[in-house]
Structure 1
Amino acid sequence: MLLHKSAVLLVLGFAAAVLGQYTGPCSTSACGAEGKACPRGYLCVPYPSFDPAERKGCTCSYG
């Protein structure tokens, strides 16, 4: 029975990670959850990581 509970917790943890992953826009013309256009000279960058699995969002950044 203990193994069964561990498997359920593992599956629930994986589901929560997938559901929490940011999948919204991340381009200069549609950046972040609001999908705003970045001002001239700015780039749309993912944060806190470029790895899509660890991405929490995107934002306009200068430089």
Structure 2
Amino acid sequence: MRIFISYRRKDALKFARSFASWLRDQGCDPWLDVENGIAPFSPLAVSVREGSFRKSALSAQLTTRMMP
């Protein structure tokens, strides 16, 4: 299963990479922008669509800095 990992680069990149590694160990196919060649602030919807997400899930990594 492909899993799109959404996170804030400024304070969650290290965790997102660690989580992606754990997912790989579990037999999943994690999809991180930094590993799939997406530049910051690029149109995310296009990149996700091109990532062929037929069997997919979304993991949103929330941090306290994301809250107003």
Which TM-score bucket, shorter chain as reference?
A: under 0.3
Structure 1 or 2: more helix by fraction:
2
Structure whose residues are more often strand by fraction: 1
TM-score, normalised to structure 1, is 0.23
Point out which structure has higher relative CO (alpha carbons under 8 A, 6+ apart): 2
The higher radius of gyration belongs to 1
